[in-house]
A and B are shown apart, each in its own frame.
Chain A
Amino acid sequence: MRDTSASVKEIRRSPQATVIVLTGDMDLHHVPAVHPVLLEECARNPATLIIDLGEVGYMDSSGVGVLVHVFQKVKANKGRLRLIRMSPRVRGIFEITRLDRYFVICESEEEALAR
């Protein structure tokens, strides 16, 4: 059976931005593995934090809650948060909860750096 555990696949840090690539299902069962890693990167105060959701197949409100928490941390540190490569399925929960009003959602890393 395909392993859908949420995990941090990659973290790339540069002076311009920190890019975190997530993979798997971001649900109540799996987000505890990801949440602390995201908060650790927030604590490094990146000027721009880009979270790549291109390999995230599913997200429920607990996954969204983690991203809201990250948003609050980045904003408190006067940084920028960008979400990129969201699938239509994941985008759907942001629209249902109207959180797409708050997050800057981009198609690519290039767009995220430019906006």
Chain B
Amino acid sequence: MSTPPPPAICDAVELKVPSVTGSLPIVRAAVEKMVLARGADEKEAAAIGLAVDEALANVITHGYGGVPGQPIEIRIETVDKGQGCRLTVHIRDFGRQVDPARIQGRNLDELRPGGLGVHIMRSVMDEVEYSCPECGGMVVRMSRRIGGGRPQVPGVE
């Protein structure tokens, strides 16, 4: 009797969500489900979900200035890379453009609310890159190798 083929993996998801805070838990859940299915453990999935959540929150708050109902396009994809795979998340908005060189994490020695999102994104993901498309808005591309013995981040045992 022949061996059945392995179940097909979902290696790319595209979402289009409005710029409302209610989109955050939905996108977070999709990202976490996907990375869990690709071999990440729960703690790593939670950390990646947090990074994507922070990027999305920045789009809603800063890119669109809190204006609801504006479009945000998200693409989540995984590519096999030897042991484990590489996760890449693209988030595209059509709001305010900012010089990518000015998007920095802030000094963590200052105890004040706000401004932590970029630091969290850069701490969790291997790469975080912002760009300004010619037709307006911003794109942030974040990637991280998952599975395969990747070094951990705080809170991800």
Q: Spell out A's residues near B (CB within 8 Å).
A: 4, 25, 27-29, 58, 60-62, 64-66, 68-69, 71-72, 88-89, 91-99, 102
Q: Bound state CA distance, A55 and B7, in angstroms?
A: 36
Flag B115-126 by CB within 8 Å of A: 1 or 0 each: 011011001100
Q: Bound state CA distance, A68 and B25, in angstroms?
A: 22
Q: Which residue of B lies closest to A29 (CB)?
A: B21
User: CB-CB < 8 A to A64: which residues of B?
Assistant: 113, 116
Q: Which residue of B lies closest to A61 (CB)?
A: B116
Contact B120 A29 (CB under 8 A): no
User: CB-CB < 8 A to A58: which residues of B?
Assistant: 28, 46
Q: Spell out B's residues near A (CB within 8 Å).
A: 21-22, 24-25, 28, 43, 46-47, 50, 53-54, 57, 60-61, 108, 111-114, 116-117, 119-120, 123-124, 153-157
Q: Which residue of B lies closest to A90 (CB)?
A: B155
User: CB-CB < 8 A to B117: which residues of A?
Assistant: 61
Contact A60 B111 (CB under 8 A): no
Selected contact of B57 from candidates A60, A66, A68, A89, CB within 8 Å? A60
Q: Bound state CA distance, A65 and B117, in angstroms?
A: 11
Contact A95 B155 (CB under 8 A): yes
Contact A28 B57 (CB under 8 A): yes
Contact B120 A93 (CB under 8 A): yes
User: CB-CB < 8 A to B21: which residues of A?
Assistant: 27-29
- The answer to whether A96 and B54 touch (CB under 8 A), given A4-B25, A71-B111, is no
Q: Bound state CA distance, A66 and B119, in angstroms?
A: 17
Name 6 A/B residue pairs within 8 A (Cβ), A-sorted: A28-B53, A58-B28, A65-B114, A68-B113, A69-B113, A92-B43
Contact B25 A92 (CB under 8 A): no
- The answer to whether A61 and B43 touch (CB under 8 A), given A27-B24, A72-B111, A88-B155, is no
- The answer to whether A89 and B43 touch (CB under 8 A), given A27-B53, A28-B21, A62-B57, is yes
Q: Bound state CA distance, A92 and B114, in angstroms?
A: 17
User: CB-CB < 8 A to A99: which residues of B?
Assistant: 108, 111
Contact A96 B25 (CB under 8 A): no
CB of A90, distance to nearest CB on chain B (Å): 9
